[in-house]
């Protein structure tokens, strides 16, 4: 089962017929993901990639019983797409779009309050349950099925961590790329909590970066709840200068606690096995699993 998605998830693609939607939906289908249809306003009633196209998410849900949406919609329209999916009763929304205005995401965050919809992203690689379901843009072949969960702010480091875990003779249950924007849906702590409660995940890789306080929040939660499963952690941006945004919109050191060193210290104090290089993630995970 793992977390968030599995072979039984019914996926719809918003922005289905666009260039990005077409390319990545094709990859998802080839991976074995149960894509049931897509949404492109004005093209309802047609088909694309041998799947039905609908004008609205509500129409798609009514016909296909879709429960998960992945969004490949331009930044100016992405917030509306997220809210449309939530209004239609979609349980999990994965927003790949980057460059969404912060003010738009403030509206989305407020709109989702009290609703049963979980948002992953935006500006993220998505979610993959290895060997079952890919709802994202990650290279599926990297993710070997196993019992290690990954939560990461960085897309490329998600793939690197999965590769390192595989080379260590282990595999992935689910990997969640939460995104690196200032305002996102699912936080590091929330993803870690899902993994801690998942009987098919034995250990967790937690990858963060400079900026914000999500890693410290997750680390303190892990300590307070007794650290039921081993966690290997890495923080990107160890050489980043204060005050300069590095890559992601949220990756900026705004205070003393936002630096990589400060986060690594907090994580270590909370019982997380912190590595200083992503090249050491797999080796460290193999060590802690054997203990």
**Per-residue pLDDT tens over the stretch 201-231:** 999 999 998 888 899 999 999 999 987 899 9
Q: How many residues does the chain have?
A: 291
Domain ranges of the chain: 11-120, 138-290
Mean pLDDT computed over 233-255: 63
CA distance 152 to 214: 11
DSSP state at residue 100:
-
Q: In the sheet where 231-236 sits, what is the strand order?
A: 133-136, 126-129, 172-177, 145-152, 203-209, 231-236, 273-274
Mean pLDDT computed over 151-177: 96
Mean pLDDT computed over 188-205: 97
Q: Is the pLDDT of residue 244 over 60?
A: no
pLDDT-based confidence at 245, cuts 50/70/90? Answer: low
Catalytic residue flag (residue 48)? no
Are 11-120 and 138-290 in the same CATH fold?
Answer: yes
Residue 174 has a pLDDT of: 98
Least confident of 56-65, 89-98, 166-175, 203-212: 203-212
Q: Considering only the top CATH level, what class is 138-290?
A: alpha beta
Q: Hunting for tokens 């499963």 — which residue is that? A: 229
CA angle 10, 15, 20 (to 5 degrees): 100
Backbone angles phi, psi at 170, to 5 degrees: -115, -175
Q: Is 62 helix (H, G, I), strand (E, B) or coil?
A: helix
* Residues sharing a CB contact under 8 Å with residue 4, sequence separation 6 or more, in sequence order: 92, 118, 120, 127, 129, 174, 176, 194
Residue 241 has a pLDDT of: 61
Catalytic residue among 24, 48, 248, 273: 248
CA distance 188 to 191: 5
Overall fold of domain 11-120: Rossmann fold (3.40.50)
Rounded to the nearest integer, the mean pLDDT of the chain is: 93
Residue 212 has a pLDDT of: 83
Please state, as a whole number, how many other Cβ atoms lie within 10 Å of the Cβ of residue 98. Answer: 16
Q: Is the pLDDT of residue 146 over 70?
A: yes
Q: How far, in Å, are 37, 82, 106, 170 from residue 112 at the CA level?
A: 24, 9, 10, 36
Residue 147 has a pLDDT of: 97
List pLDDT tens digits, range 227-243.
789 999 999 877 656 55
Cβ atoms of 277 and 249 within 8 Å: the answer is no
Cβ atoms of 72 and 80 within 8 Å: the answer is no
CA distance 165 to 13: 30
Q: What torsion, rounded to 10 degrees, do the Cα atoms 168, 170, 173, 176 define?
A: 0
Residue 248 has a pLDDT of: 55
Residue 159 has a pLDDT of: 96
| pTM for the structure as a whole | 0.94
């Amino acid at each position: 089962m793992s977390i968030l998605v599995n072979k039984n998830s019914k996926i719809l693609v918003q922005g289905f017929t666009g260039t990005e939607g077409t390319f990545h939906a094709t990859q998802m289908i080839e991976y074995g993901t149960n894509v049931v249809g897509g949404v492109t306003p004005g093209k309802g009633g047609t088909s694309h990639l041998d799947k039905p196209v609908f004008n609205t998410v509500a129409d798609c849900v009514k016909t296909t019983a879709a429960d998960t949406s992945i969004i490949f919609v331009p930044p100016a329209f992405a917030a509306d797409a997220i809210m449309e999916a939530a209004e239609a009763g979609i349980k999990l929304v994965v927003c790949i779009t980057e460059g969404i205005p912060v003010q738009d995401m403030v509206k989305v965050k407020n709109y989702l309050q009290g609703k049963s919809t979980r948002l992953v992203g935006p500006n993220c690689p998505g979610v993959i349950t290895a060997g079952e379901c890919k709802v994202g843009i990650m290279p599926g072949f990297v993710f070997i099925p196993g019992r290690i969960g990954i939560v990461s702010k960085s897309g490329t480091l998600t793939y690197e961590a999965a590769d390192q875990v595989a080379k260590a003779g282990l595999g992935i249950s689910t990997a969640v790329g939460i995104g690196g924007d200032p305002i996102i849906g699912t936080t590091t702590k929330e993803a870690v909590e899902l993994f801690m409660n998942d009987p098919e995940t034995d250990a967790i890789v937690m990858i963060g970066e400079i900026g914000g306080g999500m890693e410290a929040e997750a680390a303190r939660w892990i300590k307070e709840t007794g650290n039921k499963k081993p966690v290997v952690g890495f923080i990107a941006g160890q050489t980043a200068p204060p005050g300069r945004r590095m890559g992601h919109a949220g990756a900026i050191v705004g205070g003393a606690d936002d630096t990589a060193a400060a986060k690594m210290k907090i994580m270590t104090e909370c019982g997380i096995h912190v590595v200083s290089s992503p090249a050491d993630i797999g080796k460290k995970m193999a060590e802690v699993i054997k203990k």
